[in-house]
């Protein structure tokens, strides 16, 4: 089966002053899904596992476990015929709910009906050991030939029954094998804990304050997973000799620093994981390159950015550098580079501000969250601005002058934290 292609549209200011070294580019990548690829996905290339927290706290109130059962059923109902799926219950250990043998079922009206019946028997009781849940998911995925592997992990509490090191070891072992979207229901779970899992496993993290919102979210996540057509796509960056990649970050639809995840394939080539893609999906990446200083009039290819699957190049774009003595050209800041630099700073400021607030450092919290308010205003990120306004009283939006609210709902603070990495897009700049 042929792979769907990608378009890579590079936007940057290619003009540098004499001796300039740093080139910064935004690469907009769009997946060009094909009917052939979609047919391949329908033939059973997708595998979905729903991991449900069944610890004792899920019964307080009882609506949590009841809504978790309903959400799991909603997810099962949209698993495509022919795809593989399974359900896991998590407590201080993990057990397969369906299929009970710890394998994966092929989705059909019959298997979905059997799974719904099994899920309706889920009861709450026990502890929380998320690493064991992920470990079992990895084992179950290995019973299926599917390559598009996606999990949903739901919890309402902290990982209390294993050490952080045990969890980190399991998450690291799962890295690159399957993707995982994490959801926390209520407010008694730890955002940073789930963010580490979702970030490593190229998924998302979010809060569902009211259990009644679980079903719609589970259905949406599963539909999105079923839409994927190609797995294990890498963003490949080639640079010339004596040049180096300073960083690679996904900046839309969310901020995710991929720099440390580089897999060096040769002296001049590095691959960065991007996970699975669906038809028409678009993401933006910020790539920073440092080259050898040049002289006025010199031009060079600073980088080649490609999308690669199994060593097959499915699309590429070029980053160029031109040295000039025209100050108007060399000092011009590309609007998209500036926008996404601000969006990355916005996410960092929110997370640092909330952590300082948690530690009782009100001065740092006020400064960081104030900076976030100004950045949200500057970039037009209205959703983030609304979330910030629930945590701080905004005195002057433009300057970022704020005052910490005396009382903040835990759910509002956690929503700001989990959604801090969501960005708004800016249109391509035409020069």
1-36 pLDDT, tens digit per residue, is 456 799 999 999 999 999 999 999 999 999 997 544
Residue 38 or residue 192, greater confidence: 192
Asked if pLDDT for residue 121 goes beyond 50, the answer is yes
Q: Residues with Cβ < 8 Å from 267, sequence gap 6 or more?
A: 241
Residue 426 confidence (pLDDT): 80
What superfamily does domain 39-227 belong to in CATH?
von Willebrand factor, type A domain (3.40.50.410)
Residue 42 has pLDDT above 70, yes or no: no
Helix axes 191-200, 130-141, angle to 10 degrees: 20
Residue 374 pLDDT exceeds 80:
yes
What is the CB neighbour count within 10 angstroms for residue 381? 21
Asked whether the predicted pLDDT for residue 44 surpasses 70, the reply is no
Region 109-120 average pLDDT: 98
As a whole number, mean pLDDT of residues 270-286 equals 96
Answer for the pair 90, 128: CB distance below 8 angstroms, yes or no.
yes
Predicted confidence band of residue 82 (pLDDT cuts 50, 70, 90) = very high
Which fold, 5-33+231-332? Immunoglobulin-like (2.60.40)
**What's the pLDDT score for residue 34?**
55
Whether 40 shows a pLDDT value over 50: the answer reads: no
How far apart (Å, rounded) are the C-alpha atoms in residues 210 and 415?
Answer: 12
- What are the residue ranges of CATH 1.20.120.1690 in the chain? 336-418
Please give the mean pLDDT across all residues of the chain. 95
Cα 265–Cα 256–Cα 83 angle in degrees, nearest 5: 80
Phi/psi at 198 (5° precision): -65, -35
Q: Of all residues in the chain, what percent carry a pLDDT higher than 90? A: 94
Average pLDDT score over residue span 23-52: 76
362-379 and 335-358 helices, crossing angle to 10°: 150
CA angle 156, 160, 163 (to 5 degrees): 135
Is residue 69 over pLDDT 50?
yes
pLDDT at 4: 74
Q: How many CB atoms lie within 10 A of CB 311?
A: 9
Give the separation between CA 183 and CA 233, rounded to whole angstroms.
24
Residue 178 burial by CB count (10 A; 0-12/13-18/19+): exposed, middle or buried?
Answer: buried
Summarize pLDDT for 168-199 with one digit per residue, the tens.
Answer: 999 999 999 999 999 999 999 999 999 999 99
DSSP letter, residue 333: P
Query: Which part of the chain has CATH 3.40.50.410?
Result: 39-227
Architecture in CATH for domain 336-418: Up-down Bundle (1.20)
């Amino acid at each position: 089966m042929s792979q769907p292609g990608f378009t890579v549209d590079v936007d940057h200011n290619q003009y540098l002053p004499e001796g300039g070294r740093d080139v910064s580019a935004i690469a907009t990548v769009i997946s060009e899904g094909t009917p052939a690829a979609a047919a391949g996905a329908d033939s059973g290339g997708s595998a979905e596992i729903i991991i449900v927290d069944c610890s004792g706290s899920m019964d307080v109130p009882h609506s949590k476990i009841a809504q978790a059962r309903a959400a799991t059923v909603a997810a099962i109902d949209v698993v495509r015929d022919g795809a593989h799926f399974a359900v896991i219950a998590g407590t201080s250990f993990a057990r397969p709910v369906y299929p009970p043998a710890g394998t994966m079922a092929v989705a059909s009206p019959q298997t979905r009906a059997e799974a719904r019946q099994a899920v309706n028997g889920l009861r709450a009781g026990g502890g929380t050991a998320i690493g064991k849940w992920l470990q079992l998911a990895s084992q179950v995925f290995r019973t299926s030939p599917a390559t598009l592997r996606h999990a949903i992990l739901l919890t309402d509490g902290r990982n209390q029954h294993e050490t952080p090191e045990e969890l980190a070891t399991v998450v690291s072992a799962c890295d690159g094998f399957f993707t995982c979207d994490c959801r926390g229901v209520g407010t008694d779970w730890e955002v940073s804990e789930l963010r580490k899992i979702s970030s490593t496993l190229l998924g998302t993290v979010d809060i569902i304050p009211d259990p009644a919102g679980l079903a719609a979210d589970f259905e949406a996540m599963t539909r999105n997973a079923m839409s994927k057509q190609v797995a294990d796509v890498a963003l490949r960056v080639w640079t010339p000799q004596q040049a180096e990649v300073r960083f690679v970050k996904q900046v839309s639809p969310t901020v995710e620093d991929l720099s440390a995840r580089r897999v060096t394939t040769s002296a001049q080539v590095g691959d960065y994981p991007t996970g699975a893609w669906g038809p028409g999906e678009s993401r933006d990446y910020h790539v920073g390159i440092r080259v050898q200083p040049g002289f006025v009039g010199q031009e060079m290819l600073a980088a080649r950015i490609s999308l690669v699957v199994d060593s097959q190049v499915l699309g590429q774009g070029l980053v160029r550098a031109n040295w000039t003595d025209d100050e108007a050209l060399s000092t011009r800041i590309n609007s998209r580079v500036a926008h996404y630099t601000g969006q990355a700073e916005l996410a960092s400021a929110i997370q640092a501000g909330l952590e300082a607030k948690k530690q009782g450092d009100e001065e740092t919290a006020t400064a960081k969250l104030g900076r976030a308010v100004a950045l949200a205003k500057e970039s037009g990120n209205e959703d983030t601005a609304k979330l910030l306004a629930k945590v701080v009283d905004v005195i002057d939006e433009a300057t970022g002058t704020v005052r910490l609210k005396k009382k903040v709902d835990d759910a509002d603070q956690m929503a700001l934290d989990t959604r801090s990495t969501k960005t708004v897009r800016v249109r391509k700049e035409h020069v």
